[in-house]
């Protein structure tokens, strides 16, 4: 197997264009598992680990631009205030070793419905920046992921970064697993309160072929919550929000849990996270 190791972003793009069959590799926490289990046998690997540009983050026209190679550990340490939902999700990923190596770009690249970075990015309307020989394009995250482990990345493109507005209100992420750590989500839920826009962004993880927004729950929260007085959310509102989130999922029965359990768990996660976030909003 050929190993391509570009030292700069420009070299990485050139290598990708010259070897479109090469499999990009960043932290390797998904790719190396696939290679070890013989699920993939690419002719070449394109190791992005030496590309410093991918490990940078900064602000761009009011949004945070986070390079695809920033690992979970740095999101937790450096971005807890600006991106609290993503930081909460990052804390639940794997173990310290996986959080040090694994990247958000790799989670996007894998496009698993259970990828923990994805729900907070959907709830905050993130965009993915893709780069290739014809330049750069940005794609809303919901258009980037097209199916289980499928996305719109072309053979000659790389994920450069994602762009997301810093939190303007409380955010939450909650995940159910079969144990407390080192666990793939049975289901997960993320929300972001956008007070200026008087709306709540949501996303369900691991209970449909892709992460999904709970559109009816979002519309309900926009009209049912007391945006002017910031009064507390009553039980009926929280319960209805939970029901609508559960209805938006299309879960399956699998080794990690049944469809019925996932729906029930989602209604509980949605109720709890809205209650926590709205209490913070009212405080
Ligand atoms: C023990 C263990 C525990 C785990 N726990 C969790 C968990 O709790 N939650 C969770 O969500 N995931 C978990 N994972 C999965 C994995 O850690 C994450 O998906 C991680 O974000 C992958 O990042 P990476 O940099 O290691 O990606 P890699 O393995 O390097 O790449 C993953 C995919 O993305 C592509 N890719 C990477 N970078 C780019 C780029 N810049 N441009 C284009 N394509 C790119 C690769 O080609 C590949 O298809 C776990 C994995 C292990 C081994």
Confidence check: pLDDT of 109 > 90: yes
| Ligand 1 centroid – CA 44 distance (Å) | 18
14 CA → ligand 1 middle, Å: 23
230 pLDDT more than 80: no
Of 106, 113, 105, which is closest to residue 184 (Cα–Cα)?
A: 113
pLDDT in tens, 33-67: 999 999 999 999 999 999 999 999 999 899 999 99
Burial class (CB within 10 angstroms; exposed 0-12, middle 13-18, buried 19+) of 14: middle
Instruction: Report which DSSP code applies to 65.
Output: E
Sheet with 135-140, side-by-side order of all strands:
57-60, 63-67, 158-164, 127-132, 135-140
Q: CB of 30 within 8 A of CB of 106?
A: yes
Predicted confidence (pLDDT) per residue in 7-28, tens digit: 999 999 999 999 989 999 999 9
- Indicate which atom in ligand 1 lies nearest the CA of residue 110: 33
Q: Does ligand 1 lie within 6 Å of residue 132's CB atom? A: no
- H/E stretch holding 146 reads strand 145-147
Task: Work out the mean pLDDT of the chain and round it to a whole number.
Answer: 96
Q: How far is the CA of 98 from the centre of ligand 1 (A)?
A: 9
Do 116 and 125 form a contact (C-beta atoms < 8 A)? no
Nearest to residue 104, comparing CAs of 156, 136, 144?
Answer: 144
Q: In terms of Cα–Cα distance, which of 9, 145, 150, 5 is closest to 68?
A: 9
- Residue 260 Rama label (left phi>0; alpha psi -120 to 50; beta): alpha
Please report which confidence band the pLDDT of residue 197 belongs to, taking 50, 70 and 90 as the band edges: very high
Q: How far is the CA of 107 from the centre of ligand 1 (A)?
A: 5
Round to whole Å and give the CA distance between 17 and 158.
Answer: 10
Alpha-carbon gap, residue 277 to 266, rounded angstroms:
16
Q: Which protein residue's CA is at the shortest distance from atom 50 of ligand 1?
A: 94
Q: What pLDDT is attached to residue 209? A: 96
- Give the number of other CB atoms < 10 A from CB of residue 139: 16
């Amino acid at each position: 197997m050929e190993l391509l190791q570009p030292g700069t972003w420009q070299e990485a793009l050139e290598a990708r264009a010259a070897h479109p069959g090469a499999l990009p590799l960043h932290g390797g926490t998904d790719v190396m598992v696939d290679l070890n289990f013989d699920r993939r046998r690419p002719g070449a690997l394109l190791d992005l680990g030496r590309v410093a540009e991918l490990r940078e983050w900064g602000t761009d026209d009011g949004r945070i631009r986070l390079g695809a190679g920033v690992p979970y550990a740095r999101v937790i340490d450096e971005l807890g205030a600006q991106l609290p939902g993503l930081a909460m999700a990052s804390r639940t990923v794997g173990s310290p070793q996986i959080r040090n190596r694994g990247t958000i770009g790799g989670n996007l690249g894998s496009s698993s419905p259970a990828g923990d970075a994805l729900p907070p990015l959907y709830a905050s309307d993130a965009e993915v920046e893709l780069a290739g020989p014809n330049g750069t394009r940005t794609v809303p995250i919901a258009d980037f992921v097209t199916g289980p482990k499928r996305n719109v990345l072309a053979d000659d493109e790389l994920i450069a970064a994602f762009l997301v507005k810093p939190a303007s209100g409380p955010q939450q992420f909650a995940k159910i697993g079969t144990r407390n750590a080192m666990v793939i989500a049975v289901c997960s839920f993320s929300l972001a309160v956008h007070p200026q826009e008087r709306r709540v962004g949501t996303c369900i993880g691991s209970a449909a072929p892709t992460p999904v927004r709970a559109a009816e729950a979002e519309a309900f929260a926009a009209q049912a919550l007391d945006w002017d007085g910031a009064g507390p959310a009553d039980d009926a509102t929280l319960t209805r929000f939970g029901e609508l989130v559960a209805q938006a999922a299309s879960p399956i029965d699998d080794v990690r849990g049944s469809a019925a359990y996932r729906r029930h768990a989602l209604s509980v996660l949605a109720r709890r996270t809205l209650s926590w976030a709205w209490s913070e909003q009212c405080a």
